[in-house]
Chains A and B, each alone.
Chain A
Amino acid sequence: MNRIAALLGKELADLRSNPAVFVPAIITGAISIVMPFVIAVAVPYFSGERLADSSDFRIALEIYRDQPATRSLDPEGAIQAMIFQQFLILLVLTPVAGAMSVAAYAVVGEKQARTLEPLLSTPITTFELLAAKVLGALVPGIVLVTVCFALYVGGVTLFAHPGVYRTLFYPRALLTIFLLGPLASLAALQMAVCVSSRVNDARSAQQIGALIILPISVLLIAEFTNNLQLTSRLVLLISSGLAALNIALMAVGIRLFDRESILTRWK
């Protein structure tokens, strides 16, 4: 654990000295925060047309009015709550986007900077090395998503109908942000680090790791089209699957990390 902490400290210090690497994540986070406010608050405000009067939201309203979280809200508040809940999934992508470039560069970068060989000549194990690399990308991502969530809640409290903000503290929302999100990020990062261990080019690792965005996008679309409702139970179920996937990915990562090949064949 000490060696993981030592290398993790290095990864975080490295990031602090190069914060530009998190610009994509900050942009993703900003878009995730702003978009639902545009739809749920700005458009009705400037158009003068209430969401509850729109036929587009009629079916959604029927579904959401029955939810415990939105039962006490007026129709406009219920639709706003629905929109803010659905966009939480987009917020989940924030740490993924932010950490992907960091993780993709994890092993390739060390090799290209010729820092990997001295590192491997220490007693560090492959598990410790990969764990530190993954955590080095995950921790800043989680900090970023937490900050984004705080801004999101603050914005909802200020601009949405009274009581809407409470829906963001229901288990489903919290599980999405603080369980599903980190586990999805972890899976993406591990995929990126695994690929980073096998390719000579950070961009390849970044592209493969980004594949995790696809299933999350499917969830988002399914929710938007009312084909799926992310309940707490479903979030927990998906999170369990992701946890298992993460364990498998770590095992695969350790197998794929071939020290000898990295040292002797990469140029």
Chain B
Amino acid sequence: MTRIACLITMNELVGNEPARSALLQVALAHSPRVEDAGAGRIYLDASGLERLFGDEPRLAARLRDAAAAARVEIRVGIAESRIAALAAARLGPGVLVVEPGGDAAWLAPAPLSLLDLPEEMATRLSRWGLRTLGELAALPTAGLFERLGGDGVRLQRLARGEDPRPLVSWRPVPLFEESAACEWGLETLEPVVERLRDLAARVCARLGAAGLAADSFEWTCRLGDGRVHDGALAPAVPITDAESVGGLLRLALEARPPRGVVEALTFRARPVRLAPTQESLTDRSRPAPRLLTATLNRLVALVGADAIGAPALLDTHRPDAIALADYSPSNPPPRRDSRPPTPAKGVSQHPPSPLGGEGRVRGDEAPALALRRLRPPAPASVTLASGRPVAVRSGRLTGRIVAGVGPWRVSGEWWSPRPWLQDEWDVELADGTLCRLAHDGSAWRLEGIYD
């Protein structure tokens, strides 16, 4: 006969690691099988503990006192099933033991909220007029299955105190750490990198054997003068690939090498468990996360972190208001209509090409004319005639203007400390170059070239 003890605390354990750890220690000191159910709730297997701690009321009181000694206030319930033990802990006076065989009777008056139902299910049962577990337990199982499927039957079994799921034993997070002492001090960077890569390879092999990955890596170098040099890296996605980790490690150490003779090294990883995913056969291929992480880190080392990412438009009309968002490849469903989202315009409105020729774009496609930005915009000297630009001279291009339209005034954010306003001209130079000029009231700038 299985007996389950439930420990619940009103202390907020989320983010309170010392209290959670103390409660786990209390549970583990009394039983080898302990389940951390989260949200301040711990179950332990109380079967066969009588010879160690006395009968169940004594065990429950002992658990409460041990937790109080660790400055964690708890309520304890013992029953045959988890749900009944939880109800005993929550609804009892603080320490309560449900007699063997009495789970269903104890649960009958308990509210349905004890089942932690999803909102949709709770609403549905409430509309049926159900308030207690006993009412749910009394429903005909076949009818419940017809209406709620397997979930309904599972909930009814819980309401009757039947919980077939075994305890999921808590296991301490294994420490993935490797250390090495150097027989003689390492004075240059290369041997330090190689030693750390060896340690990283061993840690990665252990991670792989445990079916885990790591989302952060740390290393510590003890220097000859007693100081400590440490560093860390956090790949964009959890990895276990020793080669990728080694590459990232090299980049990090080259960017911030230890300043002194290294006498001992330690490398550790923080493990995470990855949920297996099934790639789609129909999606387009995308870069493998591990390889992409390594490539992105190399690119960051090459161009800087502020020069790489996915382009994003800011919610403003300010010219060239852009940002770089984190690049995270995904596979959205392909749009059935591959046309650009901008409304088709222009092509069908214009006279047919005098050149005719084969392969003209169909009128419904409307490919967009690209502007090549100059960043920052190039200062320009513009000659005006009757208020219109007739010549431009800048570092990028110089020429007579043969056609132009403007000014198109754009302005905005007048309510903010950084208002902006400029007049824009689209002009064609004598050599055929199409470009955009802007005048902000004080100076002309070459904003970009149409291409």
Interaction A to B: no
Which B residues are within 8 Å of any A CB, using their own CB?
none
